[in-house]
Amino acid sequence: MTRLPVAMLLAFACGGCSVLHKGPRQEANYFDLSYPSAPLVGEGVVVEVDAVRSDQPYDERMVFRVTGHRLEIDEFNRWAGRPEAMVEKYLALAFAAPPEPGAAKCRVAVRILQLEARLSPPAVTVALWAEIRRDGGDAAAFRKAYRRELPLDGGTGESFARSVGDALSAIAKEMAADASACGAMARE
């Protein structure tokens, strides 16, 4: 009589494991940006980058826009770090020119507005809001939204990371030109 409940419990436990098993566990893939090898900022200006901020849902997981209002968070393709830290590092390296005597100093504060891929049509969108200030000044010399949308070759984490790096490169060049103009205004 006691064998029947034990046998039923054992059958349920073994059967439950096979029903709930989802297959082999998939490991997450981690992606980093390729960072600029040379400074982008022009002569006569030093640009310092403040801490980059971000709005949700941008964290380590890659974000894909499925429709105009629906986002999907990719559990298996992730950034190697928080997007804010990666963008801050990218811009700091892009603006890492050796200091020149008498160079004007500017500070840039950045907020990530968009850092996502779209699968149809395949594209990556990077949008940043920046305020560029002359060092020591309270008023922003520039307040500007920078946005780039680039093709996404394949829907992989690798192609996503490559396109984000390319978009940041174009944005950093435009931001460097604005910072140089800010530096020129500071010297006047």
Residues 53, 46: Cα–Cα separation, whole Å: 21
For residue 25, the model assigns a pLDDT of 74
- Taking the CA of residue 5 as centre, how many other CA atoms within 13 Å lie in the half-sphere pointing to its CB? 2
Segment 48-69 mean pLDDT: 88
- Tell me the pLDDT of the chain averaged across its residues: 83
What is the per-residue pLDDT across 112-168, written as a single tens digit (0 to 9) for each?
999 999 988 899 999 999 998 887 777 778 899 999 999 998 878 999 999 999 999
Share of the chain above pLDDT 90, in %: 44
Residues 178/174/33/36 CA torsion (nearest 10 deg): -80
Residue 5 has pLDDT above 60, yes or no: no
Which residue, 161, 176, 168, is CA-closest to 60? 161
Domains with residue ranges and CATH for the chain: 30-187 (3.40.50.10610)
